[in-house]
C-alpha cells in the first residue's frame, strides 16, 4: 500500500488531510488489484512510492494534522519536533498549554519513523539480510533530518532525547560519527533550541548532532565542523530584514553569499527560518533566491505551496 492509502485508512479521520496529500496513483493500483486478482502490481516497499524527496524542512511539523507523515507525503527530507521533558516523558508541542498526554516524542515521531523504516526494509526471501534504506522509496539513500528542539533544560532534556532514540539506534538507523568518519544512515538527528553544544561535541562516538548558528561559523563558533553540525541555521528576518520588490538588495546578497560560502567550506548545509510567508510572490521570490544562491534546505510552513513551487520552478 502506498502512503496516501495507508494514511487515509489507518491514521486519518474523515475530512482531515486526505484531500491535501498528493495523489500517488492508489486509484489505479486498486483497479489493477481488483481486476487482475493478484499482488503483482504492489511491492513490499511501496509505502512512499511516487514521492520524490525535496529539500524542505517541515517547520513546526507537530502542528500539522498528522505529524511526520504529512511532511513525508510531500517529500520533505527534514522534520521538526519541539520537546518538553516533564516527569521523565518527552511531550511534543510549541507551548506548555499545547501539551497532551498522548502527544509524545515517542508516539508522534519515534514510532512512526521506525514503522516507516520497517516497511522500507522488509526481510524477504529476496532480501534475507537487514538493509538500511531510508524513508523514500524513490531515493533510498536520502537521510531524514530529525530536528529536536529542546524547550526544557538542555542538561536534563538532552540525555532523555538520546535515550528516546534507542529504538532507532538499536537497528542502526541513525547517522553516526566515530571520531574520524561520518556515516550517513536513514535518520540524522539534530538537536536545536536548548541543546548543549558541549554535550554533543564531547560524545565520541555520537549519533545526534547540533544545529549550529550560521552567522557565527567563522567567529564565535569557528571550531564547529560538519561532524558536529551537518546543518547550520539562523533567523532569516534577523539577517536580512524585509525583502522589497521581491528582490534581495546588494547588502542582503553579500550577507547571504558570505554565510553560505562559510558553511559550505566546512561541509555544513544551510537553512534559514522565519522567511516571509506573505505575499506569495515575495515568498516564492525568496525561495528562488535562496535555492539559486546555494541554500540547501528551505524552511517551509506551506508544504503544498512549496511542493507546487518546486515542481514548477523551471
- DSSP code of residue 235: E
226 in Cβ contact with 182 (< 8 Å): yes
- Please report, for the domain that includes residue 211, its CATH number: 3.20.20.190
At residue 14, the pLDDT reads 34
| pLDDT, tens only, 162-183 | 999 999 999 999 999 999 999 9
Any domain includes 117: yes
Any domain includes 36: no
Any domain includes 63: yes
Residue 177 forms beta bridges with which residues?
182, 206
- DSSP code of residue 106: I
Any domain includes 178: yes
At residue 8, the pLDDT reads 41
Residue ranges making up the domain that contains 226: 53-122+130-310
54 in Cβ contact with 25 (< 8 Å): no
pLDDT band at 3; cut points 50, 70, 90: low
Any domain includes 40: no
- Long-range contacts of residues 95-104, Cβ cutoff 8 Å, at least 24 apart: 103/62
Q: Which residue has the cell 548532532?
A: 209
Any domain includes 181: yes
How many domains does the chain fold into?
Answer: 1
Mean pLDDT computed over 80-104: 98
At residue 25, the pLDDT reads 64
Any domain includes 26: no
| pLDDT, tens only, 4-21 | 444 544 444 333 333 344
| pLDDT, tens only, 18-59 | 334 444 467 777 777 778 888 888 899 999 998 999 999 999
At residue 21, the pLDDT reads 44
φ/ψ of residue 248, rounded to 5: -70, 135
At residue 20, the pLDDT reads 41
Mean pLDDT computed over 278-306: 97
Segment (H or E) for 247:
none
Mean pLDDT computed over 271-297: 97
Any domain includes 144: yes
The torsion angle over the Cα atoms of residues 151, 155, 157 and 159, rounded to 10 degrees, is: 150
- DSSP code of residue 206: B
Average model confidence (pLDDT) for the chain?
92
Q: Which three cell numbers stand for residue 171?
A: 537497528
pTM of the model: 0.92
Amino acid at each position: 500500500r502506498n502512503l496516501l492509502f495507508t494514511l487515509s485508512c489507518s491514521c486519518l479521520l474523515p475530512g482531515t488531510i486526505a484531500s491535501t496529500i498528493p495523489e500517488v496513483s492508489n486509484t489505479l493500483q486498486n483497479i489493477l488489484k481488483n481486476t487482475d486478482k493478484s499482488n503483482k502490481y504492489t511491492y513490499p516497499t511501496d509505502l512512499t512510492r511516487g514521492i520524490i524527496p525535496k529539500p524542505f524542512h517541515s517547520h513546526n511539523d507537530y502542528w500539522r494534522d498528522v505529524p511526520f507523515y504529512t511532511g513525508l507525503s510531500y517529500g520533505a527530507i527534514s522534520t521538526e519536533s519541539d520537546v518538553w521533558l516533564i516527569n521523565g516523558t518527552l511531550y511534543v508541542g510549541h507551548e506548555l498549554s499545547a501539551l497532551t498526554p498522548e502527544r509524545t516524542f515517542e508516539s508522534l515521531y519515534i514510532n512512526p519513523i521506525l514503522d516507516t523504516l520497517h516497511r522500507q526494509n522488509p526481510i524477504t526471501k529476496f532480501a534475507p539480510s537487514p538493509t538500511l534504506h531510508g524513508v523514500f522509496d524513490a531515493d533510498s539513500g536520502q537521510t531524514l533530518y530529525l530536528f529536536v528542539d529542546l524547550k526544557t533544560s538542555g542538561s536534563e532534556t538532552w540525555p532523555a532525547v538520546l535515550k528516546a532514540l534507542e529504538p532507532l539506534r538499536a537497528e542502526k538507523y541513525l547517522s553516526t560519527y566515530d571520531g574520524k568518519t561520518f556515516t550517513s544512515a536513514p535518520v540524522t538527528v539534530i538537536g536545536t533550541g536548548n541543546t548543549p553544544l558541549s554535550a554533543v561535541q564531547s560524545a565520541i562516538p555520537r549519533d545526534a548532532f547540533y544545529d549550529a548558528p550560521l552567522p557565527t561559523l567563522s567567529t564565535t563558533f569557528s571550531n564547529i565542523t560538519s561532524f558536529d553540525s551537518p546543518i547550520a541555521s539562523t533567523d532569516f528576518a534577523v539577517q536580512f530584514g524585509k525583502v522589497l520588490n521581491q528582490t534581495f538588495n546588494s547588502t542582503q546578497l553579500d550577507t547571504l553569499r558570505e554565510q553560505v560560502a562559510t558553511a559550505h567550506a566546512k561541509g555544513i548545509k544551510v537553512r534559514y527560518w522565519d522567511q516571509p510567508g506573505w505575499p506569495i510572490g515575495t515568498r516564492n521570490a525568496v525561495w528562488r533566491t535562496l535555492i539559486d544562491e546555494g541554500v540547501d534546505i528551505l524552511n517551509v510552513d506551506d508544504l503544498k505551496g512549496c511542493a507546487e513551487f518546486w515542481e514548477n520552478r523551471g
